Structure 1
Amino acid sequence: MRRIKTTHLLFSLVLFSLICNSICASNDAKSNSISFILNCGAENNGQKDADGRKWDSDTKYLSSAADDSISAKAEIQDPSLPSTVPYMSARIFTNESSYVFKVSPKHRHYIRLHFYPSDYSSLNSSDAYFAVIANGITVLKNFSASITAKALSQAYILREFSLPVSTDGKIKITFSPSPLYKGSYAFINGIEVIPSPDLFSSAIMVGFSDMVGYSDQSIDLGIAPLQTMFRLNVGGSFIPPTNDSGGLSRTWFDDSPYVFGAGVGITGEADKNVSIHYSKETREYVAPLDVYSTSRTMGPDGKVNQNYNLTWVFQVDANFTYVVRLHFCELSMTKINQRSFEIFINNQTADDAADVIVWAGSKGVPVYKDFAVYVQDTKVEDEELWVALRPAVQLKPEFYDAILNGMEIFKMNGTKGDLAGPNPELSDMMVKAEAEPERSFAPSSSSNQKANVIGGAAGGAAAVVVAAVCIAIYQRKKRDIGVERSTSTSGWLPLYGNSHTSSTTKSTISGKSCTSSHISSLAVSLCRHFSFAEIKKATKNFDESQIIGVGGFGKVYKGVIDGGTTKVAIKRANPSSEQGIHEFQTEIEMLSKLRHRHLVSLIGYCEEDDEMILVYDHMAHGTLREHLYKGNKTILSWKQRLEICIGAARGLHYLHTGAKYTIIHRDVKTTNILLDEHWVAKVSDFGLSKTGPNLNQTHVSTVVKGSFGYLDPEYFRRQQLTEKSDVYSFGVVLFEVLCARPALNPTLAKEQVSLADWALHCQKKGILEDIIDPHLKGKINPECLKKFADAAEKCLSDQGIDRPSMGDVLWNLEFALQLQENPDGVAYSDEKETHKPSQTDMGIQETNLNDGTEENSSVVFSQLIHPQGR
């Protein structure tokens, strides 16, 4: 009996000890894995953001050196901010200052820095240039949140890093104003320090065989500092931080803005009878269930799949190594070699026999693969990172297909031992626009008023912004992959771009582009020819001070001709370039024969000495887009917006009905609607335009071209172009004018990324007023808004046959204007009549088009800034 009691006592003591140890370990784990979510500059703890996450004040984490820091509030709240917390408050540093966090040395940590470049107190956002050093790693250097936000078309900037912790268990984040800029300061709106499990071990190297310092097989990621560049839920929807796995608060974005060209494959979701089970190798915290339950595949037709690659393209910084993590989960196949495929990264074979079943063992088991690639500075074009999949034909799988469920791309420390990349470059036009004083909406006759944009066929000052969420297509072959290349723009963190086209027409003497022999005699007779000497004189010998725009094809200069009496915009292609010949010809052929008050006027051209130069009427107020959002100097009233839309509709209606053949613009968007000194709207950029079908045809069969976000889905699906494709694009423009937001914004939730889809959803739910421009709320007559929204909705009908003609659109817009101006006594009858072009509509001169003037151009010569928005 005593022995039993002793045994019970010993057992109880052991049990008590285990419980105590468990409690201590639990408390230890909590203390060692604590997260810090700071609303910098805020006075109170516990403020919640739009997702319900609590943000604390940052004051107790500041070092003593930060005693002279300033707590400030943003002067303006951008309507596209996802939440007031943490972005409307900021901590300002005029001297080097630090935050210090006590953490567990056992874990890596995610460091997220939130920036909202607004004016704070008496400080201008454009003066903030600074460096950020986290645990001895320079993560940002001479960083300008203002420039970055403008270039990326984002109100705020988020930078995420994954860093090892020093042995003393501290994370120190230091902000240092740049000594290179007088009066510079540093600021931060929000900081997240989130502990993470061991997510990284090693990566298979791709194309590293010639690099010094690397082995032939893999690279160790265990203690490498990393910056998150892209995190995509491939084939799925936006996943907010609150829905991430493992409590890591990561954001997963839709992958569609990064998919190459028209080869988008198909998206799918796991059936209800498919159960997804994490394994020891792939734990739940690696990626949430939503990532593995959706996918993008190539499609059901194996023959088609053998002839294209499923490709994603990303813009990245040069001279860094990038880790590409690909997430896989087989949702339908059950056997080996049912679906085997090849993986290419930057034209290098990463895996020539990828088989998810081989890796995972069965259906519904997630796996991931890490690859590393070095991106070198080419000095020629913007650096890109390509990820491509195609069926492994040599293995003769049962299905010729490929699958991907998720993708993450991380930047490793570069040749200088840091993660800091350069600020994105603003175009000269955007720089000039920023330097100009604000202007009111009124005609100005002042000769010294600065013009902030080009005229002519300018793509617009915000073309590089449109590229932020759009995919531009250009033709260029990639070795070994067997696909044609396309510029694709990034939507989340880095967003840069360039354009690259090719020309097959060359001078037999110099090998450079030569166009004079390909311009029709009629076009030559209707269009003024300038000598190169005249162009040099007009631009002061191409003086850099005259530049008002710059793009992949060359620079745009402000100039004067005819003894200084006429202002013009002169676009000069790079003399050594072989690009843009088809667009150069198309622009001349089209515009030389069209004269209309609401079409940009081509004054003339120059083609001497292998030059390709176009001369346009100068457009003093630039693009419609820049007056709607992102850097706009003028807030347009609703009446003014209506008048601009009516003018653009008249120009398009003339193209569709006023010439011998229908002319389909094929790239209608707010950057291609320009405004002259009297704010008259003019449609520009005819490099993609095509003559429409004749009386015996219903459509033109052609390769899909245009700008994503504005692209007619029926045209995209069937590759059959009609004038109703322009009507669809114009419907997007109408909602863009109403809501003052881009056609595509990949930073939003998936259902809101496409303005067309989101506006139609809100219109059908009767909540359209919730998404209109805040500047317009309460200023639109309800009947006018209803008429305008109905017209835009009909333009966006999925089937072209259900869309109105441009004449009907014009009539409805004019009726909406009457409702706005005179709601009680409208002079119009509410009948559907086709608008007939008046003498005013028909403009100065109408010249019929000849046959054979159209070229199937690959990339548009006419877009000036960064023509990748095609």
Structure 2
Amino acid sequence: MSTGTNIVFFLAFVSSFLSFGLQAASPDSLMLGCGSENEDTDADGRKWLPDSKFVTASNSVQAQAQYQDPALSSEIPYMKARIFTSNATYKLSAKSKQRYFLRLHFYPANYGSHNAEQAFFSVMANGVTLLKNFSASITCKATTQAYIVREYSVAPLTKDDLELTFSVNTGFAFVNGIEFVPAPDDLFDQATLVGNPDQSFDSKSSNLQTLYRLNVGGSSIPPTKDSGSLGRTWYDDGSYIFGANAGVPNLADNKTKIEYKDIPDYSAPVDIYTTARSMGPNGSVNINSNLTWMFNQVDTKYMYIVRLHFCDNKNTKANQVVFTIYINNQTAEPAADVIGWSGGIGKAAYRDYATILDEKSGGDLWLTLHPNPDSKPQYYDALLNGVEIFKLETGKSLAGPNPKPSEMLEKNEEEQKKNFENQKDKETGSNKAHVIGGAAGGAAAAGIVAALCIAVYQRKKRVQGTESHTNSWLPIYGNSHTSGTKSTGSGRSNGSRHLSSAAQGRCRRFSFVEMKQATKNFDETNVIGVGGFGKVYKGVIDNGATKVAIKRSNPQSEQGVHEFQTEIEMLSELRHKHLVSLIGFCEEDNEMCLVYDYMSRGTLREHIYKGNKTHLSWKQRLEICIGAAKGLHYLHTGARWTIIHRDVKTTNILLDENWEAKVSDFGLSKTGPDLNKGHVSTVVKGSFGYLDPEYFKRQQLTEKSDVYSFGVVLFEVLCARPALNPNLPKEQVSLADWALHCQKKGILEEIIDPHLKGKVNMESINKFADTAEKCLSECGVDRPSLNDILWNLEFALQLQEGTDSGSTGLASRTRSDSDDASLRNQHMMAIHYSNLSLGSESEIGEEQPPPSSNNNEAAPDNDSAIFSQIVNPTGR
């Protein structure tokens, strides 16, 4: 790069660091907010221009999305769209002989009378077909994403503009955003053909589509942090690792300076080369295993460029680490030696490989690294820093078919429609049925009170050791257990024998020796909590590189086998920012252990009312609740099937060092609803005080049972007291009942956390309380969805942030004090949306912590409780 370009890059980096994400694109970049009338700024601080002067279309309209999905990374450019009812063309100014990145943004939503499910269209760029009969709605459903970004690398142009044409196949066409960013001409060059190392493919003049771009061993990198002002997004690789060996993330030493010796510095950002994933320090284990990534939904019959980024920040000499690279089971590089390639420690390098994906692949592309013993290296290891995968144009086309949603997803959608219709039929019942229902509800309420009393008595017996444990529930998968779920006479537990092979393949398996080493032989000083499963220990693995929390089963607890199986089956498939990560498991010599990411700040309950050393601000509480809601929302709608947590409470919401909330403990979770019903019929399990009364009464579990429990959590956060406190007067024992009573009487402010009074915006408090109240509705169908809850919580956060910045007046003002017309309009819109809850079934709830002499305590003290029921092991 020239000196002038380096200076520009440095100034851009400093500018973004000082003012949080200022426009990172080059001066020649074009970012269009399609359908927008004004210039807008997105969440990363990038500016989007209106598109009207770039498009020629007689039949186009500007439209606003009717609903904002919580998963949207930014309101800009996704909440507005340009709708085409006939063919239309964008003309984008460009320089001839210049390569460009073209990014198209799609958010399939309802835009007035235009429903994105009806939109099928094609897109061409200067005669090259990018999308053909494309459905953004089908693609989002199949990939469980809220929005889509399609990125293309357009070959050097032969004229001074690019014509981007949208053609309507069925219904209409639409687009939310367009990015047109100049790229270096030499970004692509020669790629070695996999299977034919003596041949290479010249990709310099090819059009390409970006399929994957990963920061291996590190976190996601936003477009504002990309190098060369190219605006690329780099995602973390955790979701693509296949098999038991997930390797070890590595971070370059602070003293190591990354150097771009033989490659340009726009190849990838510095952060790509400072982080890596290696196989780990145990050579004898590494030589018998692989480090593998799997990429699915890749179109067959196309050629692909696989770009691998390397930088060895640990070794200093050639032949210390040598490994073989396989792409789709073919040797791409027999003896990869990063130090030999780059010339030394901290020097960046990359390699391009070209491969053809045939139909036998099933649409999966595999990348595998394995130590090469033939070179007799000093260490048996392998490493990788980054991956990019590009599809190459074939016959003037980059288009592939719309992905096919899974059969389970399609069946679930059909069943949800049937359930909704059935529910509407039920709601047309006679007045007589309502009278009978009211009487039955009264009897059920009496039954719940009696059951609570029995539960209190039974738990006291367990504490005194007079009751044995029983196996009263089954794991999630009906075929994952037999009558012999206890330990066998051989001394080996059946815990993992009944796990699916897929679950075992996705989890790292530890030996019991490794567990003892990690916890210093289960030293009692490392105990950070005790739960129904057993004790939880703080530990370190991978030679101290990774802190973990290890749950060790109690051999006397028969229920541990089921929780063990369910936790692995569940968490091995689930990956989300707001779900606690399962690293692996150990099942050996009658011992069962589960290994998780260590959550340094413990449980939410600790920081609300149980021995907390600091008081969370209202903004912190809102952000934590939003994070937990996002995790639950993913369980209900983002996974391959609906997952009902069944034990939502403040001890199962964990906090990391950055105060990010993560939902934990899936030992009681259930998949559902049943494909032939709107619910799962199951034995009632959960924690009293949080338990949905409708579920308790009917033994019919739905996702709205989680909503009820989350409503109790919201009131706990607001009032800073346990869900159940037997030491209080009878009418105040249940927080849910007492909070609803105070809410209806208009005296809720009297029971909120004293540390909040006079310091927060009461509009925010009221919005939060209204949301919690709706969650506790008697009938599940009246409760909001997690989507609606998230909308309301985000709105409450905006109200509070307005107060913190001084834009909404005094913190103590009430709803009637608000004279800001704009805020009032937003508030009314929030209320409107929150009342549009599309519930699915029944619920209601109650919990039971042990008696305590302190009215503000619900369980024995524990300084660093980390996992399920660590603070309060009851309710199982």
Same fold? TM cut 0.5: yes
Matched, 1:42 2:36: yes
Q: Report deviation, 1:136.
A: 1.4
Matched, 1:686 2:480: yes
Matched, 1:406 2:386: yes
- 1:326 aligns with one of 305, 308, 314: 308
Q: Report deviation, 1:104.
A: 1.4
Q: In the alignment, which residue of structure 1 is the partner of 2:182?
A: 195
Cα 1:436–1:351 change in 2 (3 A) is closer
Q: In the alignment, which residue of structure 2 is the partner of 1:271?
A: 253
Is the CA contact (8 Å cut-off) linking 2:566 and 2:666 kept in structure 1? no
Matched, 1:357 2:351: no
Q: Report deviation, 1:255.
A: 0.6
- 2:140 aligns with one of 146, 149, 155: 149
Matched, 1:790 2:650: yes
Is the CA contact (8 Å cut-off) linking 1:39 and 1:85 kept in structure 2? yes
Q: Report deviation, 1:296.
A: 0.5
SS state at 1:371 partner = strand
- 1:206 aligns with one of 184, 187, 194: 194
Is the CA contact (8 Å cut-off) linking 2:307 and 2:353 kept in structure 1? yes
SS state at 1:691 partner = coil
Is the CA contact (8 Å cut-off) linking 1:791 and 1:809 kept in structure 2? no
Q: What are the within-5 Å matches in structure 2 for residues 184-263 of structure 1?
A: 184-197=171-184, 198-207=186-195, 217-263=199-245
Cα 1:747–1:258 change in 2 (3 A) is farther
SS state at 1:286 partner = coil
Cα 1:710–1:406 change in 2 (3 A) is closer
Matched, 1:338 2:307: no
Is the CA contact (8 Å cut-off) linking 1:32 and 1:103 kept in structure 2? no
Matched, 1:55 2:74: no
Is the CA contact (8 Å cut-off) linking 2:88 and 2:166 kept in structure 1? yes
Is the CA contact (8 Å cut-off) linking 1:39 and 1:56 kept in structure 2? yes
Mapped to 1, the partners of 2:467 and 2:352 lie a distance apart of 58
Cα 1:298–1:709 change in 2 (3 A) is closer
Q: Report deviation, 1:805.
A: 9.1
Cα 1:389–1:776 change in 2 (3 A) is closer
Aligned residue type for 1:345: I
Is the CA contact (8 Å cut-off) linking 2:94 and 2:161 kept in structure 1? yes
Cα 1:247–1:758 change in 2 (3 A) is farther
Q: What are the within-5 Å matches in structure 2 for residues 173-188 of structure 1?
A: 173-178=164-169, 181=170, 184-188=171-175
Cα 1:383–1:36 change in 2 (3 A) is same
Cα 1:685–1:158 change in 2 (3 A) is farther
Q: Report deviation, 1:273.
A: 1.6
- 1:307 aligns with one of 288, 296, 312: 288
Aligned residue type for 1:204: T
Q: In the alignment, which residue of structure 2 is the partner of 1:292?
A: 273
Aligned residue type for 1:92: I
Larger proportion of helix = 2
Mapped to 1, the partners of 2:378 and 2:211 lie a distance apart of 35
Mapped to 1, the partners of 2:279 and 2:125 lie a distance apart of 42
Q: In the alignment, which residue of structure 2 is the partner of 1:396?
A: 376
Mapped to 1, the partners of 2:569 and 2:689 lie a distance apart of 15
Cα 1:318–1:824 change in 2 (3 A) is closer
Q: What are the within-5 Å matches in structure 2 for residues 354-433 of structure 1?
A: 354-378=336-360, 382-414=362-394, 416-428=395-407, 430-431=409-410
Deviations 1:112-156 (A, max 9, x none): 010000011101111100001112111111100001111111110
Q: What are the within-5 Å matches in structure 2 for residues 2-81 of structure 1?
A: 34-45=28-39, 47-63=40-56, 66-81=57-72
Mapped to 2, the partners of 1:308 and 1:152 lie a distance apart of 30
Deviations 1:362-382 (A, max 9, x none): 11110000001100113xx73
SS state at 1:194 partner = strand
Q: In the alignment, which residue of structure 1 is the partner of 2:615?
A: none
Is the CA contact (8 Å cut-off) linking 1:699 and 1:721 kept in structure 2? no
Q: What are the within-5 Å matches in structure 2 for residues 86-105 of structure 1?
A: 86-105=77-96
SS state at 2:109 partner = coil
SS state at 1:106 partner = coil
Is the CA contact (8 Å cut-off) linking 1:208 and 1:374 kept in structure 2? no
Q: In the alignment, which residue of structure 1 is the partner of 2:329?
A: 347
Mapped to 2, the partners of 1:776 and 1:732 lie a distance apart of 18
Q: In the alignment, which residue of structure 1 is the partner of 2:677?
A: none
Is the CA contact (8 Å cut-off) linking 2:278 and 2:382 kept in structure 1? yes
Aligned residue type for 1:365: K
Q: Report deviation, 1:166.
A: 2.5
Is the CA contact (8 Å cut-off) linking 2:602 and 2:655 kept in structure 1? no
Aligned residue type for 1:426: P
Q: Report deviation, 1:761.
A: 8.1
Q: In the alignment, which residue of structure 2 is the partner of 1:840?
A: none
- What is the identity percentage for the equivalent residue pairs of Structure 1 and Structure 2? 39
Matched, 1:831 2:850: yes
Cα 1:50–1:698 change in 2 (3 A) is farther
Mapped to 1, the partners of 2:474 and 2:149 lie a distance apart of 37
Q: Report deviation, 1:359.
A: 0.8
Is the CA contact (8 Å cut-off) linking 2:323 and 2:369 kept in structure 1? yes
Mapped to 2, the partners of 1:805 and 1:90 lie a distance apart of 43
Q: Report deviation, 1:733.
A: 12
Is the CA contact (8 Å cut-off) linking 2:307 and 2:388 kept in structure 1? yes
Deviations 1:475-497 (A, max 9, x none): xxxxxxxxxxxxxxxxxxxxxxx
Q: In the alignment, which residue of structure 2 is the partner of 1:768?
A: 624
Q: In the alignment, which residue of structure 2 is the partner of 1:506?
A: none
SS state at 2:266 partner = helix
Is the CA contact (8 Å cut-off) linking 2:485 and 2:561 kept in structure 1? no
Pairwise CA RMSD: 5.0
Give the number of the structure with larger relative contact order, counting CA–CA contacts within 8 Å between residues 6 or more apart: 1
Mapped to 2, the partners of 1:402 and 1:733 lie a distance apart of 29
Deviations 1:843-862 (A, max 9, x none): xxxxxxxxxxxxxxxxxxxx
Mapped to 1, the partners of 2:376 and 2:29 lie a distance apart of 50
Cα 1:60–1:732 change in 2 (3 A) is farther
Aligned residue type for 1:419: L
Mapped to 1, the partners of 2:86 and 2:391 lie a distance apart of 29
Mapped to 1, the partners of 2:190 and 2:482 lie a distance apart of 47
Count of residue correspondences? 554
Cα 1:306–1:72 change in 2 (3 A) is same
Q: Report deviation, 1:830.
A: 3.4
Is the CA contact (8 Å cut-off) linking 2:98 and 2:156 kept in structure 1? yes
Aligned residue type for 1:386: W
Aligned residue type for 2:29: S
Q: After superposing the two structures, state which structure 1 stretch, 319-328 or 162-171, moved more.
A: 162-171
SS state at 2:242 partner = coil
Is the CA contact (8 Å cut-off) linking 2:34 and 2:82 kept in structure 1? yes
Mapped to 2, the partners of 1:698 and 1:304 lie a distance apart of 22
Where in structure 2 are there 5+ consecutive unaligned residues?
9-23, 429-444, 460-465, 516-549, 583-595, 608-619, 634-644, 657-663, 669-683, 692-721, 725-733, 742-844, 853-876
Q: Report deviation, 1:428.
A: 4.9
Is the CA contact (8 Å cut-off) linking 1:664 and 1:690 kept in structure 2? no
Q: Report deviation, 1:693.
A: 2.7
Matched, 1:121 2:121: no
Q: Report deviation, 1:759.
A: 11
Is the CA contact (8 Å cut-off) linking 1:242 and 1:249 kept in structure 2? yes
Q: What are the within-5 Å matches in structure 2 for residues 580-659 of structure 1?
A: none
What TM-score comes out, normalization by structure 1 length?
0.56
Mapped to 2, the partners of 1:202 and 1:343 lie a distance apart of 18
Aligned residue type for 1:830: P
Q: Report deviation, 1:275.
A: 1.2
Q: Report deviation, 1:332.
A: 1.0
